Structure 1
């Protein structure tokens, strides 16, 4: 197996454990490549020999390895997924961030993770991905999302009016700050923060979660994964954004139809022994933890 290694070079606590992993791979005679910014960072800090970094550096990690280590947080793992494009290379997220629903291997378990990988003791989860098209320019920054698409007001005061049609049948016209169209993977991200439900990763579903709706009876709704969702922001005097996994494109023109459907590809995440979605919920959201008041 060839391991590809990437990460978030802006995180100061990235470099020491990353260099330990590289030296472990060298000592064990295992094949690996380093994303060019990571190779440069290791060499500049004298953590790995410059010649070794040059020999293992690649610009395109998508085509260079059989499995990709992504060091950072959930945002880094999402960027890695988009960097590699629509392919089936498994991703292993190593958490050096704060929460880590996607990057759920903690940094101090990286050597245990490598042992499991070399023993073939791991699974690969296929995560549902959404794709979007529109009937008008400008082009999106990205046309597919692992977590969610969001139609959102651009920061200007006032709500936006979003008409939503599902499989050709009108669902609702939302008067709100915006609307999130999320995957089960994205149910613990932006959608959760705005009151959406948590959906287990294996569920075939799409979630529509309004952002601060004007009418309190408007609630999130869970739809089958294979629906076609068409949205358009009705006429008003303010711009709005269409965002994919946090990457936003500004629109001035109204009545543009955005169509969201299930993508043909998936994003594949590596899961090691002992990892389970329920464990992640308990540890990250502190489910079941009782507060001690000292009484």
Structure 2
């Protein structure tokens, strides 16, 4: 078995965690081979006892499991590159702030790796979304892949843009807004949430369309089946608009550019242990459903009525 580690070197305490994994790899050397990509030139082939320094491209190609040490951003950027190799399994270790997607605690990383090696885990499959620009800088129709969302943005221009949308060839709306978020269920707790979108269970078979600051009293987020094809055309008084996937800019495109978006045929699998689940993470990380009222009074009334 081969395990690859992608490191965000800017995170606090990452060196300590790498040392811990290096020692752990030495104890299970007969069960797994470990590769590491640190994006840091200070680490060389002689920096570790049991971790093999490898390029990102080769690491993604040969590893059975990808582990990211960083935060949600590190995980998202890795997922975008993983699909270019093949469908992979990924485990996100949180060294960042929120750690909603990268929800493996740093102190549990070695035990979670051991669970994976011993097949004591489950695979949480997540949908990806793909976007194909029909003209503009990506005129070769290169697909853009995202786990969370694809965002159309007015690119710092002070005026709103017009976004015409068709669903399976049928006209839906013409948004006058700062932009549009096209989100997967996984991305519903990201940028879309900040823009007033709904929280969607990650295994729901839907895609979210969420306008950013629409100039209208009636525009609301739209939820559509994930088998739909979304045709978008963007108009702006400026020279161009921006297209982003999972927070990374994919470039600027001229007014009139057409985009085709749909669910990708590929998925990504998050390696989880039994104690990890979406709703528990939602409660813990987002404080979802937190209520400071004393609910014992209702329990007391029920018990009191039963006694009578």
**Does the pair score TM above 0.5?**
yes
| In 1: Cα distance, 2:185 partner to 2:81 partner | 21
Give 1:3-22 correspondences, 5 Å limit: 3-22=3-22
What residue in structure 1 maps to residue 26 of structure 2? 26
The 1:34–1:41 alpha-carbon spacing in structure 2 relative to 1, beyond 3 Å, is farther
2:217 is the counterpart of 1:216: yes
Give the alignment's Cα RMSD to 1 decimal: 2.2
Instruction: Could you tell me which runs of 5 or more consecutive residues in structure 1 were left unpaired when the two chains were aligned.
Output: none
The 1:47–1:224 alpha-carbon spacing in structure 2 relative to 1, beyond 3 Å, is same
What does the per-residue CA deviation read over 1:109-152, in whole Å, with 9 as the maximum and x for residues that have no partner?
11221232233111112211111112212028961111111111
- Deviation above 4 Å: which 4+ runs of structure 1? 38-44
Query: Which segment drifts farther, 251-260 or 150-159?
Result: 251-260
Instruction: Could you tell me which runs of 5 or more consecutive residues in structure 2 were left unpaired when the two chains were aligned.
Output: 294-308
The 1:83–1:215 alpha-carbon spacing in structure 2 relative to 1, beyond 3 Å, is same
What residue in structure 2 maps to residue 254 of structure 1? 255
Contact 1:142/1:247 (8 A) holds in 2? no
| In 1: Cα distance, 2:53 partner to 2:169 partner | 51
What residue in structure 2 maps to residue 68 of structure 1? 66
What residue in structure 2 maps to residue 48 of structure 1? 48
| In 2: Cα distance, 1:129 partner to 1:84 partner | 12
Give 1:230-241 correspondences, 5 Å limit: 230-241=231-242
Contact 1:32/1:65 (8 A) holds in 2? no
Measure how far apart 1:203 and its partner are.
Answer: 0.7
2:102 is the counterpart of 1:90: no
What residue in structure 2 maps to residue 107 of structure 1? 106
State the SS of the aligned residue for 1:12. coil
The 1:237–1:38 alpha-carbon spacing in structure 2 relative to 1, beyond 3 Å, is closer
Contact 1:33/1:57 (8 A) holds in 2? no
| In 2: Cα distance, 1:39 partner to 1:64 partner | 21
Measure how far apart 1:58 and its partner are.
Answer: 4.1
| In 2: Cα distance, 1:39 partner to 1:236 partner | 42
Contact 1:133/1:259 (8 A) holds in 2? yes
The 1:31–1:39 alpha-carbon spacing in structure 2 relative to 1, beyond 3 Å, is farther
Measure how far apart 1:93 and its partner are.
Answer: 0.4
What residue in structure 2 maps to residue 168 of structure 1? 169
| In 2: Cα distance, 1:125 partner to 1:96 partner | 21
The 1:251–1:36 alpha-carbon spacing in structure 2 relative to 1, beyond 3 Å, is closer
What residue in structure 1 maps to residue 297 of structure 2? none
| In 2: Cα distance, 1:58 partner to 1:256 partner | 36
Question: Larger Cα Rg: Structure 1 or Structure 2?
Answer: 2
Query: Which segment drifts farther, 239-248 or 178-187?
Result: 239-248
| In 1: Cα distance, 2:63 partner to 2:78 partner | 13
| In 1: Cα distance, 2:42 partner to 2:68 partner | 15
Contact 1:239/1:250 (8 A) holds in 2? no
After TM superposition, the score normalised by the length of structure 1 is 0.90
Q: How many residues align?
A: 288
